[in-house]
Amino acid sequence: MGSRTPRRKVLFVEDESALRRTYKRFFAPRYDLAFAASGTEARRQLEEFEPQVLVLDLRLPDTDGVTLLQEIRRSRPALPVIVTTSYVSMEPLTNVLDLGHSGYLVKPFDLEDLAARIDALG
């Protein structure tokens, strides 16, 4: 492999399967990927995959994304987290904003924008 920099490990926590497939197609050439469709899966992947960046949807079938983010902040305070949400109102995010996440995007967003944010978390 030589001097090639290792690929960044990104965990996408997203319950919409169509969006997970889109992420996979778009980001696979760029990053090492793992996916979780629920809070339970996300907790397992955090242990097994050990991501360097987390992309977290706030709406999950089995847990509130804010609660999950608070858990992650306690166990991995330095992990960069990009929050994605369908909420146009910032109201639900006010709880999240002081948790040291690394930005948020309101769906639908541009995948290049997300990639730029992931890349900027160096």
Q: What is the pLDDT of residues 91-122, one digit of tens each?
A: 666 666 666 667 888 888 999 999 999 999 86
Task: Check: CB of residue 14 under 8 Å from CB of residue 38.
Answer: no
What span, in angstroms and rounded, lies between the C-alpha atoms of 15 and 53?
18
Mean pLDDT of 76-90: 83
5 vs 18 pLDDT, higher one:
18
Q: Is 68 contained in some domain?
A: yes
- The mean pLDDT value of the chain amounts to 88
Q: What is the pTM of this model?
A: 0.89
pLDDT score of 1: 45
53 vs 85 pLDDT, higher one:
53
Q: Is 87 contained in some domain?
A: yes
Counted domains in the chain: 1
Containing domain of residue 72, as a range? 9-120
User: Which residue carries 């469709």 as its tokens?
Assistant: 37
Q: Is 31 contained in some domain?
A: yes
**Domain with 89 in it: what CATH number?**
3.40.50.2300
Q: Is 35 contained in some domain?
A: yes
pLDDT score of 115: 96
